[in-house]
Amino acid sequence: MHAVVADLESKEGIKIEKIEVWHNKENLKKLEDLDKGVCGGVPFFINTETGKTICGEATYDDLESWAKGK
């Protein structure tokens, strides 16, 4: 997903915050709080403005729609 996210950020000027959860317990707790057991893993995307989530891998088009709140 790194390449898809980077492509979206570069083409659309959208910034997606990435947090590392494997070695950072604080970030893992943040993931668990935001996920609420829905996805249960990574990649996990949440649009904090709309509340819309994506669990697992996504296409460029799906990620773009998610990021733009569609």
The residue with greater pLDDT, 16 or 41, is 16
CA dist., res. 30 & res. 44, Å (int): 12
61's tokens: 């088009």
Q: Using alpha carbons only, give the angle 54, 52, 17 rounded to the nearest 5 degrees.
A: 70
Give the model confidence (pLDDT) of 59-69 as tens digits: 999 999 999 99
Give the model confidence (pLDDT) of 32-61 as tens digits: 999 988 898 899 999 999 999 999 999 999
